[in-house]
Amino acid sequence: MIVAPKIRGFICTTAHPTGCAKHVANQIAVVKNRGPITNAPKKVLVIGASTGYGLASRIATAFGGGAATIGVFFERGAEGERTATAGWYNTAAFEREAAAAGLYARSFNGDAFSDELKKTVVEAVKQDLGQVDCVVYSLASPRRQHPRSGEVFKSVLKPIGQTYSNKNLNTSNGQVNEVTIESANDEEIAHTIAVMGGEDWEMWMDALQEAGALAPGVRTLAYSYIGPSLTWPIYKNGTIGRAKEDLERAQRDIEAKLAPLGGKAWVSVNKALVTQASSAIPVVPLYISILYKAMKAAGNHEECAEQMDRLFRERLNSSTPAIDDAGRIRLDDWEMADDLQNLIADRWAKVTTENLGELADFAGYQESFHRLFGFGLAGVDYGAEVDVQVPIPSIKA
Ligand code: NAI
């Protein structure tokens, strides 16, 4: 069939198999073009491995460091005329490329929050790799069913203690309008921490450690965001920020438990980028559009592949990577540079629907968004018939 994008607000309900494969190939090329990564982990478990930062982490460690990778994610295969999700096609392509390069890769599709999937994955680690020397935790989810209590938590993106109004970009039509978001209540804060905080990361690390599946000197990472003060009410000081504080609490607790193995845990603060998760956050798409314009002009714009390549190539090549006062790795250093942020603040104050094209890179935002689903990639014939049934080699039908 011929696959076209069907965009509904901030989601696209179709994905293009060839386009997703090209998107993955392009990210692999970014890493390979920079040469081998030294001191990279060799056996890596990535939780949230099918899109965004998790996929890029898998690509950087596999194609930069030659790592064997196990990936965990929650995606959907094609059913009849309905395409698979982008993360499904991305993983199918990743595994084909890994096999061609002689790299071990195995994937698990299911609910990472469940005890069942953890058990299955830990067994696979033991059986196939013995132990892992790196665990990347890169989940972004709107809900979590607690594995012990069965309670279902739903995360919200809201400010805390105040109603927040700011400029917002309607990414469907390029209109700059204003959005007002009511303050979260205590239950919503607690739910967001339960979904996006650190408890599940800890549960993964406990399950792996108890099974003896962590190698001496193991390294584990989870990802966070801080951003500029203009987004703080909705991000850093909002419900998601509380969850990220809990991620930092988990980082300290995990590192304490890893002491007998000489292991290390880090939270890496990454750059704001267009991903399926970030496009759902109010205010952030307008900020990202202005950011992209400024960073592309400055010549230091990065996408997920470049960010994760820099993480493993330049930061984790040392056993003591540079950290900030709170112990975090800062890959948002170029985004947060003072001169760049001053420019963005100035443009933020001025931006309207009329001058959006001049002050912001809305076209670039849209291109990035389309690419997430395999659309708009150079060299792909979108007029050609394509088989939407694409297997992930390591997942039995
Ligand atoms: P994404 O939406 O591209 O990826 C989320 C991943 O989680 C996918 O692989 C998805 O399949 C998986 N997943 C979701 N629910 C699952 C479940 N129940 N079981 C198994 N897998 C599940 O998101 P993105 O943006 O790459 O986010 C990853 C992390 O990076 C998050 O912690 C996010 O806060 C953080 N981050 C994102 C930034 C951004 O601008 N996109 C900036 C800095 C940090």
Question: How far apart are the two ends of the chain, measured CA to CA in Å?
Answer: 21
**Residue 241, ligand 1, Cβ within 6 A:** no
Question: Has residue 396 got a pLDDT over 90?
Answer: no
DSSP assignments along 185-236, one per residue? -HHHHHHHHHHHSSHHHHHHHHHHHHTT-EEEEEEEEEEE----GGGTTTTT
What's the whole-number mean pLDDT along residues 207-231?
97
Question: Has residue 397 got a pLDDT over 80?
Answer: no
CA 205 – ligand 1 centroid, Å: 18
**Residue 108, ligand 1, Cβ within 6 A:** no
Contact 51, 275 (CB under 8 A): yes
The structure tokens listed for 250 are 């988990």
Show Cβ contacts of residue 46 under 8 Å, excluding neighbours closer than 6 positions. 54, 57, 58, 61, 69, 70, 71, 72, 135, 136, 138
In a domain, 76, yes or no: yes
Residue bearing the CA closest to ligand 1, atom 38? 272
Residue bearing the CA closest to ligand 1, atom 44? 224
Residue bearing the CA closest to ligand 1, atom 28? 138
Domain that holds residue 270: 7-372
Quote the pLDDT of residue 170: 92
Pocket test for ligand 1, best of 139, 144, 247 (most atoms within 8 A of CB): 139
Residue bearing the CA closest to ligand 1, atom 5? 140
CA 192 – ligand 1 centroid, Å: 14
Alpha-carbon torsion, ordered 356, 358, 362, 367, to 10 deg: 160
**Residue 48, ligand 1, Cβ within 6 A:** yes
Question: Has residue 391 got a pLDDT over 90?
Answer: yes
What's the whole-number mean pLDDT along residues 66-88?
97
Quote the pLDDT of residue 93: 98
In a domain, 280, yes or no: yes
Percentage of the chain modeled with pLDDT above 90: 95
Give the atom of ligand 1 at the shortest distance from the alpha carbon of 75. 11
What's the whole-number mean pLDDT along residues 384-395?
97
Half-sphere exposure of 183 (CA within 13 A, CB side): 7
List the one residue out of 266, 255, 262, 276 whose CA is nearest residue 222. 266
Contact 67, 31 (CB under 8 A): no
Quote the pLDDT of residue 240: 96
Provide the pLDDT confidence category of residue 304 given band limits of 50, 70 and 90. Answer: very high
In a domain, 1, yes or no: no
List the one residue out of 151, 153, 144 whose CA is nearest residue 201. 144
- Reported as a single tens digit per residue, the pLDDT across 22-42 is 999 999 999 999 999 999 999
What's the whole-number mean pLDDT along residues 328-347?
97
Quote the pLDDT of residue 172: 87
In a domain, 279, yes or no: yes
Pocket test for ligand 1, best of 75, 138, 239 (most atoms within 8 A of CB): 138
Angle at 34 (CA atoms; ends 30, 37), nearest 5 degrees? 110
Angle at 215 (CA atoms; ends 213, 216), nearest 5 degrees? 140
Residue bearing the CA closest to ligand 1, atom 6? 48
Report the domain count for the chain. 1
Quote the pLDDT of residue 280: 84
In a domain, 382, yes or no: no
Cα–Cα dist 326/189, whole Å:
22
In a domain, 388, yes or no: no
Question: Has residue 319 got a pLDDT over 90?
Answer: no
Q: What is the CATH number of the domain that holds 161?
A: 3.40.50.720
The structure tokens listed for 237 are 């000081």
Helix ranges restricted to H, 316-387: 338-350, 356-359, 362-372
Quote the pLDDT of residue 276: 86
The b-or-e profile of 117-148 (16+ CB within 10 A means b, else e) is bbeebbebbeeebebbbbbbbbbbbeebebbe
Quote the pLDDT of residue 282: 87
Provide the pLDDT confidence category of residue 286 given band limits of 50, 70 and 90. Answer: very high
Cα–Cα dist 142/53, whole Å:
17
What rounded mean pLDDT belongs to the chain? Answer: 96
What's the whole-number mean pLDDT along residues 92-117?
98
Q: Which of 53, 235, 287, 365 is catalytic?
A: 235
In a domain, 389, yes or no: no
Give the atom of ligand 1 at the shortest distance from the alpha carbon of 47. 21
Question: Has residue 10 got a pLDDT over 90?
Answer: no
Contact 45, 70 (CB under 8 A): yes
What's the whole-number mean pLDDT along residues 100-127?
98
Contact 272, 333 (CB under 8 A): no
Report the helix count and the strand count for the chain, using DSSP H and E: 13, 13
What's the whole-number mean pLDDT along residues 85-114?
98
- Tell me the backbone φ, ψ of residue 223, rounded to 5 degrees: -110, 145
- Reported as a single tens digit per residue, the pLDDT across 230-279 is 999 999 999 999 999 999 999 999 999 999 999 999 999 999 999 988 88
Quote the pLDDT of residue 112: 98
Quote the pLDDT of residue 334: 98
Active-site residue flag, 235: yes
Provide the pLDDT confidence category of residue 360 given band limits of 50, 70 and 90. Answer: very high
CA 362 – ligand 1 centroid, Å: 22
**Residue 131, ligand 1, Cβ within 6 A:** no
Quote the pLDDT of residue 128: 98
